[in-house]
Structure 1
Amino acid sequence: MKTRWFFLLVLALSVGAAMAQNEIWARRYNGPGNHFDRVAAMALDTAGNVHVTGPAYPAGSQTNQNYVTIKYSPDGNELWLSTFSLNDNDYPSAIAVDTSGNVYVSGSSGTVKYNSAGAQQWNRQPGGAIALDALGNIVIVGSSASEAALWKYSPNGTLQWARTFDAPGTGSDGLSAVAIDATGSVYAAGIRNRVHDEAASDFLVVKFTSAGAYLWDGFFAGAGNLGDWAAAIELDNNGNPVVAGNANVDAFSPAGDVAVAEFNRTTGVESWHDVYDGPDHLWDAAADLAMDSAGNSIVAGYTEKAATGSDYLTIKNGPGGARLWARTFDGGASAFDTARGVTVDQADRVYVTGGAVRMAGQAPDYCTVKYEPNGPLKWVRRYDGPADDLDEASSVLIDWLGNVLMAGESYGVGTVGDFATVKVGQSMASNVSTISVGPGVLESGSFFELLSSDSQYLVCRPGIVFNNSIPPLQITVEGTATPETTSLLSFRVEGHTTSTNIVQRIYLFNFETDEFVLFDTANTTLSDSVREVAVGGTSSEYIQFITRRMRAKITYKTAGPVFSFPWRARLDHVAWGNTP
């Protein structure tokens, strides 16, 4: 059975239909100090709200930063903004959102929890990389007194346990990434310095139980016996930790390689590793790691080249460690292009973001590249801020509708660096071509009124029914899907009713079972709002195989008596979205 994704959310101020890979919205924030502000991390909640956090300067200061965290609705409305300051220089670096919408932000000045409305609940002094377990507990990893350190807190901020680990050697140790499995066991990765010199260091990986009991530690050392450290950790389909970072770093060259390694979840023994050394044997660096549904690992970073500065670097390894492909991307100017973030969608397509220079003499833009699962480049999308100056994304995410979110630092006109969060749509719009109404009466308009979000309405009123279970207004629409193979099919309804207590339901027609399937039930609003549903996978059952026809039904029913019809349904924009 194909997986079905639901995205059920009212958007108070609706946006127009997203065309192929077009910007849907961009939101900027300039701190009161009008200095170098940037998004350091981004997270989505289950409702599709976007949360970003980063350092921003308060009024009257260009030396001391605060934590600033902003929550945006899916249509880009700012829902809240919260600041946190403890020391003179507060720098957040991580964010996570639990299933209730609570937000956790961590960094140089500790960890702070906000509720879904942005009110601070508590703050605790340990700060670093964070992960949430299935019960809403938070694990923080970093360092303490030159040792690797881990802390676990309950949702109400109670310390459950704190652990340190001193790896063999005389140097300091630290943890920079953490992952938690389904049992609550904690895996963390970072650096073990063999001596008091980062030029002689190894990947460090440790595992603790959910109760804080030490289980094992593992190491990876590059062949050059130089500097190696882990930057990211993820778990594969079997719960084995996969770690990516930098290896063979020679502080005197300088030069380094990208390394990825997997460790056995039970023993901590290394299962495999792969080291990438670019063709010019210069500086290659890993920035981020993602896992796809097949257990493949994808590392993103950059590779330095003598002729082209640096290029994006993306490497995909199979579950057994075999390198499936490696791709580089030059922004166009043979300048310094650096990838900072990577993610995958439900079809295992790969998205890599960072900063890339398009033309010689210019500053970098936000630049996200999309690769097919087998490696071909699908598209490139950029964002150039209003100052036409430095723009560099640090994070990329995909929402349930396949939209791409980028966030990082972007120069404004007279504002230097700002937060910039950008949402880009991928869907190919398929408009309604035929409509039918019944039960109910079409009072005015035709399918032309449904083609765009323009306050031109199709207006219908209820008809007479003699069974209270039958909606007195039913509107059936049809359209034709684009020819591309669909990885995500969405359907949106924008409009309102002239009365409250009206229930709207959205159905999509399943051509395999020859029936309408209910996807969404919601109360209508008195002003335009949007309801949107989505189906993952190939969506083949909702697209007729030969004709590519699609069918949907929108019904309306009052909560009052059957014959109480002093209301109208006014539809502004109805359309499908097909994400190739």
Structure 2
Amino acid sequence: MKSLRRSVPLVLLLLTFFADSLSAQLAARQSWVNRYNVDAAKINQTLGIVPAADGGVIVGGSSASTNGDLDYVLVKYTPSGTQAWLTRYDSPTHGHDQMRSLVLGSNGCLVVTGTSKTAKFDNGGNLLWAAPYEGRAVAVNASNVYVTGFSDVNFATAKLDGASGSNQWTRTHDLIGQPDLSQVMAVDEAGNVYVAGDEIWYYDPRWSIYHNLTTIKYDPNGTTLWTVRNDGSPYGGGNDNAEAKAILVDKLGGFCVMGNCLDRSIYLTRRFNAGLELVWDYHIAAAGGEGRCMLVDENGRTYLAGSRPTGAALYDYKCDTVKLNTNGAMLWLSTYHGPVNGSNQGTALALDAPGSVYVCGYSLGSGTGHDIFTLKYDKNGTQLWVQRYNGPANGDDIATGLVVDASGSVYVTGYSATTNGGTEFVTLKYTQPGLDIQRRSDGAMRLQTLTTPGTPYAFESSSNLQSWLPLATNTADTNGIVVFDDTNAPAVPRRFYRGSRP
């Protein structure tokens, strides 16, 4: 299955004895926040965020021009928060260009699609080409660009040449002559294309319309290999809309699809192998909530985020984060609820190398509208920290995307209400703690960090950054704080420290 990066032990490294006191908060800290708009009284909303090939992040979304029409917008920020470049794309007809999908391609290129065009930009934000496909989802490989969802009446999928944007093939799918909508897509290493969406399988104007969550696989030449529907499941084939939210493929030809069925009363995840055998089927009764995002790590474990009602009050929802094993069995389910009753919706997921899970979303605050929340769980589902962001207008702040880089920095993007009645892009960076090091009055060095409550944490020291000696392995308290006092520190001229979870 797809993964973000290879799992390696967490190592934290700091040089001491070059300052009398080194201190850091044992929680993620906001390093910077950037906001962007052309007209603060109009719509400026991000769609997502991707890591930049040379560091930092690139944010994509839609922004109203001075004339009021929406343009595609890409903004690159350096790790320090400096805007490296900004690109606006206005289609030739000057209509609404609302971005609906953003992916990072080879050589740092970016491909976007939306309500006007499918477009490719280089790593400096320069437009390379634009093709006439008003897609809902886009995918890439080394040679090609794939787009789907550019029809409101049929599944519609196209393969484009990555260098020029020229069409290689277009395929449509219709079951009974009623509107079908392709919504998400993926491409595997062999160039096979997977498309999932809402398909109508029964229509009677006197009674009702029945929907499937349907997945189609095309070979590299556009030949349909198979079609899979959820009508055989106990919660498929309902008379309310189906909604595909994510599809991921593995190296063996299997795939995992997640979506909402029965008008969001259930969100489900299904994994199939290359032979189209259902490996497992997992669902949550959401009752008006919804599943929003899915990740699969390199070991085949699946992570989901969504919302469902608490039952404590009307329209009170909690944010669920779920981890499933390779057989689809739930390893853990952790929930988040803000300070007051209301919506708590996860919108994006990310993983880091040690297996920690990051979730961002929006949560109703006390007199602040919806706030952006960002939280971290360890690999066992224990919440390590949460940060909330309330914009200057005390209005709704909605997260749309999340990236965690190799150093553990967390980037979140979304949009935020303005005092002028509009919205604007908002992008935040959070820095996580390493070792908190302080010199005591007797010269000893106190080492402190944040980890999973009740778990061991090992401290080591070195005088040359090559040979490391164990100091102690201590257990974190109920708050996740683990402490070690190095009383031998005054006897050495300098000492380096590192820590890890055994």
TM-score, length basis structure 1: 0.69
Give the equivalent residue in structure 2 for 1:214: 224
Answer whether contact 1:344 1:398 (CA < 8 A) is retained.
yes
Give the equivalent residue in structure 2 for 1:234: 248
Give the equivalent residue in structure 2 for 1:277: 285
Distance 1:226 1:299, change over 3 A: farther
Higher relative contact order (CA 8 A, sep 6+): 2
> Is it true that 1:405 corresponds to 2:418 in the alignment?
no
Give the equivalent residue in structure 2 for 1:509: 466
Q: Give the distance between the partners of 2:305 and 2:256, measured in 1 at CA.
A: 14
Q: Following TM superposition, by how much is the alpha carbon of 1:71 offset from its aligned partner in structure 2, in angstroms?
A: 1.0
Aligned to 2:373, what secondary structure does the other structure show?
strand
The letter of the residue matching 1:65 is: L
Give the equivalent residue in structure 2 for 1:449: none
Q: What does 1:314-463 align with in structure 2 at a 5 Å threshold?
A: 314-359=321-366, 361-414=367-420, 416-429=422-435
The letter of the residue matching 2:191 is: G
Distance 1:100 1:358, change over 3 A: same
Deviations 1:249-268 (A, max 9, x none): 2xxxxx6111111122x333
Distance 1:337 1:236, change over 3 A: same
Q: What does 1:146-161 align with in structure 2 at a 5 Å threshold?
A: 146-161=153-168
Q: Following TM superposition, by how much is the alpha carbon of 1:4 offset from its aligned partner in structure 2, in angstroms?
A: 8.8
Distance 1:431 1:137, change over 3 A: farther
Q: What does 1:54-73 align with in structure 2 at a 5 Å threshold?
A: 54-61=61-68, 64-73=69-78
Q: What does 1:118-197 align with in structure 2 at a 5 Å threshold?
A: 118-126=125-133, 127-133=135-141, 135-144=142-151, 146-195=153-202
Deviations 1:155-199 (A, max 9, x none): 222435223242533422222112222222222221211135995
Q: How many aligned residue pairs are there?
A: 441
The letter of the residue matching 1:188 is: V
Answer whether contact 1:45 1:98 (CA < 8 A) is retained.
no
Deviations 1:83-121 (A, max 9, x none): 112252211022122241212121111211111222111
Q: Following TM superposition, by how much is the alpha carbon of 1:276 offset from its aligned partner in structure 2, in angstroms?
A: 0.8
Distance 1:482 1:292, change over 3 A: farther
Give the equivalent residue in structure 1 for 2:103: 96
Answer whether contact 2:130 2:165 (CA < 8 A) is retained.
no
Distance 1:244 1:40, change over 3 A: same
Distance 1:383 1:56, change over 3 A: same
Q: Following TM superposition, by how much is the alpha carbon of 1:239 offset from its aligned partner in structure 2, in angstroms?
A: 4.3
Q: Give the distance between the partners of 2:52 and 2:389, measured in 1 at CA.
A: 24
Distance 1:326 1:426, change over 3 A: same
Answer whether contact 2:98 2:115 (CA < 8 A) is retained.
yes
Aligned to 1:182, what secondary structure does the other structure show?
coil
Q: CA RMSD, aligned part only?
A: 3.5
Q: Give the distance between the partners of 2:98 and 2:71, measured in 1 at CA.
A: 7
Q: Following TM superposition, by how much is the alpha carbon of 1:391 offset from its aligned partner in structure 2, in angstroms?
A: 0.7
Give the equivalent residue in structure 1 for 2:210: 200
Deviations 1:10-30 (A, max 9, x none): xxxxxx997530001111001
Q: What does 1:485-504 align with in structure 2 at a 5 Å threshold?
A: none
Aligned to 1:100, what secondary structure does the other structure show?
helix
Give the equivalent residue in structure 2 for 1:85: 90
Answer whether contact 2:9 2:354 (CA < 8 A) is retained.
no
Structure 2 counterpart of 1:245, from 259, 262, 285: 259
Q: Following TM superposition, by how much is the alpha carbon of 1:218 offset from its aligned partner in structure 2, in angstroms?
A: 0.9
Answer whether contact 2:46 2:59 (CA < 8 A) is retained.
yes
Distance 1:511 1:199, change over 3 A: farther
Q: Give the distance between the partners of 2:58 and 2:371, measured in 1 at CA.
A: 22
Distance 1:39 1:18, change over 3 A: farther
Q: Give the distance between the partners of 1:414 and 1:270, measured in 2 at CA.
A: 51
Deviations 1:258-304 (A, max 9, x none): 1111122x3334332112114xxx21311111112321111111112
Distance 1:166 1:377, change over 3 A: same
The letter of the residue matching 1:78 is: Q
Answer whether contact 2:7 2:354 (CA < 8 A) is retained.
no
> Is it true that 1:114 corresponds to 2:121 in the alignment?
yes
> Is it true that 1:261 corresponds to 2:270 in the alignment?
yes
Answer whether contact 2:23 2:438 (CA < 8 A) is retained.
no
The letter of the residue matching 2:428 is: V
Answer whether contact 1:66 1:89 (CA < 8 A) is retained.
yes
The letter of the residue matching 2:275 is: T
Q: Give the distance between the partners of 1:508 and 1:162, measured in 2 at CA.
A: 56
Q: Percent identity?
A: 24
Answer whether contact 2:183 2:244 (CA < 8 A) is retained.
yes
Larger gyration radius, structure 1 or structure 2:
1
Answer whether contact 2:191 2:220 (CA < 8 A) is retained.
yes
> Is it true that 1:24 corresponds to 2:34 in the alignment?
no
Q: Following TM superposition, by how much is the alpha carbon of 1:364 offset from its aligned partner in structure 2, in angstroms?
A: 1.2
Q: Following TM superposition, by how much is the alpha carbon of 1:577 offset from its aligned partner in structure 2, in angstroms?
A: 8.9
Q: Give the distance between the partners of 1:314 and 1:112, measured in 2 at CA.
A: 33
The letter of the residue matching 1:183 is: A
> Is it true that 1:303 corresponds to 2:308 in the alignment?
yes
Deviations 1:111-157 (A, max 9, x none): 11111222111111112211221x14221111436221222222222
Aligned to 1:427, what secondary structure does the other structure show?
coil
The letter of the residue matching 1:405 is: Y
Give the equivalent residue in structure 2 for 1:43: 50
Distance 1:244 1:199, change over 3 A: farther
Unaligned runs of 5+ in 2: 1-5, 12-21, 440-444, 453-463, 470-483, 490-495
The letter of the residue matching 2:344 is: D
The range that moved more, 229-238 or 77-86, is: 229-238
Q: Give the distance between the partners of 1:93 and 1:201, measured in 2 at CA.
A: 23
